[in-house]
Amino acid sequence: MGKIVLAAKTTHVPTMVMSELDGPLKGKRQSAIDGHKKIGEMAREAGADTFVVLDTHWLVNASYHINANHKFSGMFTSHEFPQFIKDLPYSYEGNAALGDLIAKTARDMDVYTLSHQVDSLDLEYGTLVPMRYMNADAGLKVVSVAAMCTVHSLDASRRLGEAIRKGIEASDSNVALIASGSLSHQIWPNDIYAENNGTFTISSKFNEVVDRRVLEMWQEGDIELFLEMLPDYAKYCDGEGDMHDTIMLFGALGWDKYKGKGHVITDYFPSSGTGQTNVVFDLPD
């Protein structure tokens, strides 16, 4: 019987990759990188054999989708930010059986979900950036779930999260579940980005205040109230991918029955107008 052995909400900002390179951003995102590495260490210590990443950079317009190929390998350049992430090599083993089981479990719960083994279906950087640091030795398998869901209800994504947990429990896999996406996500307008030092600032003080309050709620275990405000939070603070990754994560943790707390691994930081962090959550007994 499988189980979720780690659950986290994490950043995937491209400046993490740029932080490795010579130039003005070198070293600037080291705290976020260190946070990812710590989460990877925690996953291994907990006995994980697979990362399941809820990826807010994989956009889908119909159904829910899981990239569950047997193996992933290639060279990635971001269509969104080709000047930020380019020629990024990757190679990971997949977990097709787990992806298929999650999809079947979801369909049995009336959440139409498809699992794919297609060599030309690439991973997005919402998966690749966390895996670069959490899974640097490629020792754990990878499954990616689309979490930029354009025509999907929040309740359906909650039920998909529940199906993810049930599918994992019906498998023989121990999973680190990663919700890969920002908190608030209002990127600076292009024409005023530079004058506001956009790479290192937040675009809305309102968003920052709400982000920081959300982190307090997670750390205090005030999850039920957070879930009540989550639809408005996603709407008014421009949550990345409407925060379907976060909804899936809490669906997997038990939704309003979840009694755990969040533990901040990387302190809150702004990036290109958005709010970012790395947080690990207690797991239900």
pLDDT above 90: percentage of residues in the chain: 93
Mean pLDDT in residue range 169-194: 95
Q: pLDDT for 196-249, tens place per residue?
A: 788 999 999 999 999 999 999 999 999 999 999 999 999 999 999 999 999 999
Does 111 score more than 90 pLDDT?
yes
Q: pLDDT for 147-177, tens place per residue?
A: 999 999 999 999 999 999 999 999 999 999 9
pLDDT band at 118 (very low <50, low <70, confident <90, very high): very high
245 vs 1: which has the higher pLDDT? 245
Domains assigned to the chain: 3-183+241-268+276-281 (3.40.830.10)
Q: Which of 281, 279, 277, 208 is nearest to 29 (CA)?
A: 277
- Give Cα separations from 54 to 58, 107, 194, 213, 223 (angstroms): 9, 18, 31, 23, 20
Window from 73-87, 151-165, 211-225, 257-271 with minimum mean pLDDT: 73-87
Number of C-beta neighbours around residue 118 at 10 A? 9
pLDDT band at 194 (very low <50, low <70, confident <90, very high): confident
pTM: 0.98
Does 285 score more than 90 pLDDT?
no
Q: State the Cα–Cα distance between residues 136 and 271, nearest whole angstrom.
A: 23
Q: Is the dihedral of CA 88, 89, 92, 97 positive or negative?
A: positive
pLDDT at 197: 85
Does 195 score more than 90 pLDDT?
no
Does 58 score more than 90 pLDDT?
yes
Does 127 score more than 90 pLDDT?
yes
Whether residue 68 contacts residue 115, with contact meaning beta carbons closer than 8 Å, is answered with: yes
pLDDT at 178: 99
What SS3 state is found at 246?
A: helix
